[in-house]
């Protein structure tokens, strides 16, 4: 499986009748950073648009790349950003406490 992060540059839709199944199909092809990925998933096809920044997971089958999952990058990273922000705030509190301790020692040394 390949994970691709980038901007959707082009979306095309192909509709037809399956050769072997005889059933109608609708296939979306997304071009992300110059490479094309296809999906029959209507939710993905209708949700993502040109210009969206996405993270796509897919695999190659023969000459075609098949999309298995896709999400907006903001969605993919928002949880991690929240976690990092909390970690940063905790680290800043720790640093501030250490600076206060150093200042107190320095003032004691000045007496």
The answer to whether residue 50 scores a pLDDT higher than 90 is: yes
Residue 19 in domain: yes
Residue 82 in domain: no
Domains: count for the chain: 1
Query: What pLDDT does 56 receive?
Result: 93
User: What CATH number does the domain containing 32 carry?
Assistant: 2.40.50.120
Burial 70-103 (b: 16+ CB within 10 A, else e): bbeeeeeeeeeeeeeeeeeeeeeeeeeeeeeeee
Residue 14 in domain: yes
Instruction: Report pTM.
Output: 0.63
What is the residue range of 14's domain? 2-74
Strands 53-61 and 2-17: what pairing? Answer: antiparallel
Residue 22 in domain: yes
pLDDT by residue (tens digit) across 63-104? 888 899 999 987 555 555 656 676 777 888 899 989 998 888
Residue 85 in domain: no
């Amino acid at each position: 499986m390949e994970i691709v992060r980038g901007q959707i540059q082009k979306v095309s839709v192909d509709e037809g009748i399956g050769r072997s199944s005889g059933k109608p199909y609708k296939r979306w092809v997304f071009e992300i950073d110059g490479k094309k990925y296809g999906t029959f998933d209507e939710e993905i096809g209708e949700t993502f648009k040109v210009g969206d920044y996405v993270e796509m997971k897919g695999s190659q089958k023969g000459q075609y790349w098949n999309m298995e999952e896709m999400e907006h990058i903001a969605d993919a990273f928002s949880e991690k950003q929240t976690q990092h922000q909390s970690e940063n705030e905790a680290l800043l509190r720790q640093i501030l406490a250490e600076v206060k301790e150093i200042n107190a020692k320095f003032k004691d040394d000045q007496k």
